[in-house]
Amino acid sequence: MTTKKKNATAKKSPSKKTTRSSGLWLVKQEPEKYSWDDFVRDGRTDWTGVRNFQARNNLKQMKVGDRVLFYHSSTGKCVVGIAEVAKAAYADPTADDPQWVAVDIKPVKPLKEAVPLAAIRYTAKLADLPLIRQSQLSVMPLTKEEFDTIVAMGNGKKK
Backbone angles phi, psi at 55, to 5 degrees: -65, -40
* Residue 48 neighbours by CB distance under 10 Å: 15
Averaged confidence pLDDT in the chain: 89
* Residue 116 neighbours by CB distance under 10 Å: 14
Q: What is the pLDDT of residues 79-112, one digit of tens each?
A: 999 999 999 999 999 999 999 999 999 999 999 9
Beta-strand relationship, 67-72 and 139-141: unpaired
State residue 20's pLDDT score. 60
Q: What is the pLDDT of residues 122-152, one digit of tens each?
A: 999 999 999 998 989 999 999 999 999 999 9
pLDDT of 12 above 50: no
Is residue 29 within 8 A of residue 148, CB to CB? The reply is: no
Return the biggest CA–CA distance within the chain: 61
The pTM (predicted TM-score) of the whole model is: 0.86
Is residue 59 within 8 A of residue 47, CB to CB? The reply is: yes
